[in-house]
Structure 1
């Protein structure tokens, strides 16, 4: 059975825009919004029913262990990158973003893109799911 709730990560440098967008996406899908800083500090397990994590890119770029992704990223369905007007792509060439871009799981939008555009991208990812989300590893993100 395929779960209807997405596992999203919203990345953007502008805190206000990112937080508002993450909150609206979480509200639309009826799932919790989790600040990445809180997840990293508390090491709480990720909700099985989907989530929206909001983060500045540098918070999620650090490696965990030997070259592994943090579980919040390892199990995400889609990473939504909110880039500013001056964005060229080179600024955001961090390891995590390159990882998701190579797998077709990175969707970049300008900060003022309509919510509907993001929802269309998320829904397309959910339709592409072939199985339930895996259980996250013990110990949280």
Structure 2
């Protein structure tokens, strides 16, 4: 292979390499540019206090969101509940509720929000016990 051919190959590879790296690093934008969620969920029957295995007629799901979504929800449903009505009396504990949406903030754990869903009816439900 001649020197000019080697230089030409090297230039082509050098020009294409950044495009390959950028394409490999592209983030999945999700549906409609949606942001991925952080959190967990569990399916159950009965009540949160006395859970049973879910059945066809008694299925509920409890969601817990953390991170940016929880912080955004916490900030939008304000104000804090009175300390006397809160689920904890810890000094750094803050709690906000709106309907079945329940959000908390602690210095150690950050923001968390809880929401439940009654699957057969499609109606919201509590997602945490307090």
Q: TM-score range by the shorter chain?
A: under 0.3
Comparing both chains, which one has the higher relative contact order based on Cα–Cα distances under 8 Å and sequence gaps of 6 or more? 1
TM superposition score normalised by structure 1? 0.21
| Structure with the greater alpha carbon radius of gyration | 2
More helix by share: 1
TM superposition score normalised by structure 2? 0.22
More strand by share: 2
